Amino acid sequence: MHFIEVIIPLALAKTFTYQVSEAEFAYIQEGCRVAVPFGKSKIYTALVIKKHHQAPELYEPKEIFQLLDEKPIVTQHQLNFWVWMAEYYMCGIGEVYHAAIPSALLLESETVIKFKNLPNDVQADLTDEQYLIMEALQKQSVLTLLEVAKIIDKKNVFPLIQQLIKKDYVSLDEEIYEAYKPKMLRYVKLSDSYTKAGSLSELLEITKNAPKQKQLILGYYQLITHQNVPVSTKKLISHTQVAPTVLKTLIDKNVFEPYFLSQDRISFDQSDKIDEVKNEWIEKISNQIELQFSQKDIVVLKDVTKQNQLEVYFNLIEKYLNLKKQILFLVPEIVVVSSVLKEFTSRFGNQLIVYHSRYNNNEKVEIWNKVLNHNQTGQIIVGTRSSVFLPFNNLGLVIVDQEHDVAYKQNESAPRYHTRDSVIMLAHLSGAKTLLSSSTPSFESIYNIKSEKYGVVEGDSQDLFSTQTEVVLCDLKDKYKRKRMTGHFSDTLIEEMSDALANQKQVVLYQNRRGYAPILECISCGHVPQCSQCNVSLTYHQHKNQLRCHYCGYTMAKPSHCHACSSVDLSLKGFGTEQVEKEVRELFPEAKVARLDQDTTRGKHAFELILEAFKEQETDILIGTQMVTKGVDFSNVGLSAVLNVDNLLYHPDFRSFEKTYQILSHLIEQTHQEKQSNKVIIQTYNPQHEVLQKVKIHDYEKFTQEQLIERQTFIYPPFCRLIKITLKHKDYDKLKQASEWFYSVLVQKLPLPVLGPEEPSINRIRNQYIRLIQIKIPQKISLPKTKSIIQKTINSFDAVSAYRNVQITVNVDNV
DNA sequence: AGCACGCCGACT
DNA sequence: GTCGGCGTGCTC
């Protein structure tokens, strides 16, 4: 008896056992996909993780439906990585599988069977039921499994169809398995009769009365001799400047023969490679990193200016390329990809692969295969967090750029992984080195440097910013009191903006919109329209003149009167990027203004358009959220400003000071340009605040020292681990009861600080009420044991019938 | 995640 | 008397 253990791409904790034939068993490898029947009438793309001979005792395993791969599409390293991730972030292995694999490699939802042949002897070969199916197929040619089940009035149709497939009377629709189609490009070559020496003169003789055809043939010879590569029809036509019909005539005459090659969609123009800038300082830093790598697997690189940083990366990458290794370069957001891409391509050309979530399914599969089938050439992958799932087989180096960035943590759906921490594990499993890079390293990394778990290499950028780039803290309280404000702009800011613009400099305005988008308030009764699904105020969006909920996407037209008191005196309060844009246009009617936020960057190339326009100085003032501190080209920026830093600073989160420092510091760092006296203005009600004071003098060292003491005193990361448990239910009272039950059971079992069950300030989203429980796990306590207790608590929670439909999510290392 | 089974309300 | 609501439990 032969069995395989598979993962199903669903949120299920278990693996499943299927039976296979001896031939299949010999053929199948771990990491191959198989199509398996699962449940009543579904087929899933499962992944083989084990082959064995132990028959399950409690049930009769089903047979697999079909093999899908000749060779593994997932490596053993990946499987180990997935197991670790599922365990560490407390989710099902199926969820990791689902998140990791490009969806085009998973089956389409509806499985159909197709008519193929009719047996010679229908009577002898088919049972009555099979005959019914074949009959139906002759009329319809394609049937879904559900339809088959209806025709023969049976629940389990798989064995029947299986037999039909074996006898080759029907087939599963191949299209389902070939959801991925490589893009084909048309090429031409000379027909065999014209490939010998002397053919050219023969051809010229044939076409002596057809100058256009002659031109085309000469052009073809030119292309062939110059760059002996296949000639695409497109290239030939553009090269020779003749009409496509001429080529068609020659193909009809059998001079040329068309053929097709699959085109690699993701290719870059191999622009002229720039010679390396050999710089002693860069060499020195790189050597230090390498020295550290000889002792430690993880090294933190800090305090290196932007320009030098890229050179250090390139230097290091080159070394691993020479070792024919794969290099993974991680960035926190897609915007950053576009901003470094040019430098990378001009240096490494076609050795580069870019990967992020906005690629379409076919492109993702292409990249997947490229990484999987990586040969002896060395390869660089630049990508966002999902790149950690690519099937590396020879990973040598990982670089995590802007390592501190919270965008590296996936919070929305399982697996809720932190890219930095996960990739360290991936590197460890693959025997690769990891370089964490940031001018403001995360507290976790600083802690690990101090405890000598990580190595560290420091650059020399420390003092540059503070000496040359002036940081102005602008006191809003004072400005309001003295009536120096126009909208959200202080006179200082307006003046500096005018100056910068007058000097042909660009301006960047930062406004985090978190919780501060404009709301519509009734002046008579103070009523603010709320979302009916979530306990939040609706925010006003001018361009469509509607109110919108940022949590569930609900929209309504802007009301003309108050729904509570019918008054028509409604006013807009608070502000977001959109309103800032409006104010800027009023203050500077001559300036060209652009906005960079989630609303203006839908679509794959939206970023590039805005960033490119700004780079080309077609934009004078750029307003944006977090994104402006990441991918924007600051080379001609003379001034940047934060409109109101307080809502960033006073976000209810133990990390808010750390985050605020990092954001401001990055803005300053970006604004800083050699030999220029640029300015950063920060508007605030608390100019004396310690975070702002430390940012102003660029003293991250001191800042982290103080903050780490605080974290230690109140036991917060990095001095403990946090696990956040979210409970959701539509019934407020039931949820309250359930979360209290959960809390009390947990406290009984865990000798640890457990916080909650707290009701968050936004206590309802999409009609679901929310309660939070947080667990602090000190370093000396075993994390796996704690997790197992949490899991057991969840299990007994689910066993209580009154609570089982309360939704629970677990977020490990929530940031 | 689906999907079927199963037990209570508004319809012909 | 039945159709259909969605709560509950299972999938190798």
The more confidently predicted of residues A478 and A647 is A478
What would the two tokens of residue A73 be? 């599409």
Q: How confident is the model at residue A463 (pLDDT cuts 50, 70, 90)?
A: low
Q: What is the pLDDT of residue A462?
A: 59
d(CA A456, CA A446) in angstroms, rounded, equals 9
Q: What is the pLDDT of residue A706?
A: 95
Q: Please determine, for residue A268, whether its predicted confidence score (pLDDT) is greater than 60.
A: no
Q: Confirm whether any atom of chain B, the nucleic acid strand, is less than 7 Å from CB of A11.
A: yes
CA of A663 to C1' of C5 (A): 51
Q: Confirm whether any atom of chain B, the nucleic acid strand, is less than 7 Å from CB of A150.
A: no
Q: Please determine, for residue A139, whether its predicted confidence score (pLDDT) is greater than 50.
A: yes
Q: Please determine, for residue A751, whether its predicted confidence score (pLDDT) is greater than 90.
A: no
| Tens of pLDDT, residues A640-665 | 999 989 888 887 788 999 999 999 99
Please state the separation of Cα A108 from the chain's center in Å: 23
The more confidently predicted of residues A71 and A751 is A71
Least confident of A374-378, A436-440, A497-501: A374-378
Element (H, E) at A114: strand A112-115
| Region A208-226 average pLDDT | 84
The more confidently predicted of residues A683 and A551 is A683
CA of A764 to C1' of C2 (A): 39
Q: Please determine, for residue A110, whether its predicted confidence score (pLDDT) is greater than 70.
A: no
| Tens of pLDDT, residues A596-619 | 887 777 766 777 788 889 988 999
d(CA A421, CA A813) in angstroms, rounded, equals 10
d(CA A622, CA A609) in angstroms, rounded, equals 13
The more confidently predicted of residues A813 and A222 is A813
Please state the separation of Cα A464 from the chain's center in Å: 33
Give me chain A's average pLDDT, please: 86
Q: Confirm whether any atom of chain C, the nucleic acid strand, is less than 7 Å from CB of A56.
A: yes
Q: Are A796 and A746 in contact (CB under 8 A)?
A: no
Q: Residue A5: which nucleotide is closest by CA–C1'? A: C12
CA of A119 to C1' of B11 (A): 50
Q: What is the pLDDT of residue A215?
A: 87
Q: Confirm whether any atom of chain C, the nucleic acid strand, is less than 7 Å from CB of A320.
A: no
Q: What 8-state DSSP symbol labels residue A283?
A: H
Q: Confirm whether any atom of chain B, the nucleic acid strand, is less than 7 Å from CB of A153.
A: no
Q: Confirm whether any atom of chain C, the nucleic acid strand, is less than 7 Å from CB of A482.
A: no
Least confident of A241-250, A269-278, A371-380: A269-278
DSSP β-ladder status, A112-115 and A142-144? antiparallel
For CA atoms A475, A476, A481, A482, the dihedral sign is positive
As a whole-number percent, the residues of chain A with pLDDT over 90 amount to: 48
The one-letter code for the residue type at A383 is G
Helix, strand, coil % in chain A, rounded to nearest 5: 40, 20, 35
CA of A730 to C1' of B9 (A): 22
Q: Residue A10: which nucleotide is closest by CA–C1'? A: B1
Q: Please determine, for residue A516, whether its predicted confidence score (pLDDT) is greater than 50.
A: no
Residue A627, classed as helix, strand or coil, is helix
Q: How confident is the model at residue A392 (pLDDT cuts 50, 70, 90)?
A: very high
Q: Confirm whether any atom of chain C, the nucleic acid strand, is less than 7 Å from CB of A166.
A: no
Q: Residue A95: which nucleotide is closest by CA–C1'? A: B1
Q: What is the pLDDT of residue A234?
A: 85
d(CA A575, CA A572) in angstroms, rounded, equals 9
Of the candidates A597, A681, A673, the residue with the CA atom closest to the CA atom of residue A637: A673
Q: What is the pLDDT of residue A272?
A: 44
Q: How far apart are the first and last CA of chain A?
A: 48
Element (H, E) at A366: helix A361-372
- HSE at residue A219, side-chain half, CA atoms within 13 A, is 22
Nearest protein residue by Cα to C1' of nucleotide C10: A39
Backbone φ, ψ for residue A688 (5° rounding): -85, -5
Please state the separation of Cα A640 from the chain's center in Å: 28
| Region A63-87 average pLDDT | 94
| Region A146-170 average pLDDT | 72
Ramachandran quadrant class, A722 (left: phi over 0; alpha: psi -120 to 50; beta: rest): beta
User: Which of A241-250, A492-501, A736-745 reaches the highest mean pLDDT?
Assistant: A492-501
Q: Residue A42: which nucleotide is closest by CA–C1'? A: B2
d(CA A434, CA A268) in angstroms, rounded, equals 27
d(CA A183, CA A620) in angstroms, rounded, equals 41
Q: Please determine, for residue A267, whether its predicted confidence score (pLDDT) is greater than 70.
A: no
Burial A218-233 (b: 16+ CB within 10 A, else e): ebbeebeeeeeeebbb
- Please, where are the H alpha helices in A40-104? 76-88, 93-100
CA of A137 to C1' of C4 (A): 33
Q: Is the pTM of this model over 0.95?
A: no
CA of A794 to C1' of B4 (A): 26
Q: Please determine, for residue A533, whether its predicted confidence score (pLDDT) is greater than 80.
A: no
Of the candidates A316, A343, A323, the residue with the CA atom closest to the CA atom of residue A400: A316
Nucleotides of C under 7 A from a protein CB: 7-12
Q: What is the pLDDT of residue A181?
A: 52
Q: How confident is the model at residue A6 (pLDDT cuts 50, 70, 90)?
A: very high
Of the candidates A73, A26, A27, the residue with the CA atom closest to the CA atom of residue A47: A73
Beta-carbon contacts of residue A470 (< 8 Å; ≥ 6 apart): A677, A678, A679, A680
Positions 796-815 of A with beta carbon below 7 A from strand C are 801, 804-805
Q: Confirm whether any atom of chain B, the nucleic acid strand, is less than 7 Å from CB of A39.
A: yes
| Number of Cβ atoms within 10 Å of the Cβ of A721 | 17
Strands (E), A269-423: 298-302, 326-330, 352-355, 379-383, 395-401
| Region A560-587 average pLDDT | 85
Rg, Å, chain A Cα set: 31
Q: What is the pLDDT of residue A381?
A: 96
User: Which of A399-413, A507-521, A650-664 reaches the highest mean pLDDT?
Assistant: A399-413
Q: What is the pLDDT of residue A79?
A: 96
Q: What is the pLDDT of residue A396?
A: 96
| Region A524-544 average pLDDT | 79
Q: Cα torsion for A208, A210, A211, A215, to the nearest 10°?
A: -90
DSSP β-ladder status, A720-729 and A807-812? antiparallel
d(CA A20, CA A26) in angstroms, rounded, equals 10
Q: Please determine, for residue A535, whether its predicted confidence score (pLDDT) is greater than 80.
A: no
Q: Confirm whether any atom of chain B, the nucleic acid strand, is less than 7 Å from CB of A42.
A: yes
Q: What is the pLDDT of residue A153?
A: 63
Q: Please determine, for residue A175, whether its predicted confidence score (pLDDT) is greater than 60.
A: no
| Tens of pLDDT, residues A664-682 | 999 998 898 877 889 999 9
| Tens of pLDDT, residues A318-330 | 999 999 999 999 9
CA of A97 to C1' of B1 (A): 14
Positions 6-25 of A with beta carbon below 7 A from strand C are 12, 14, 16-19
Length of chain A in terms of residues written: 815
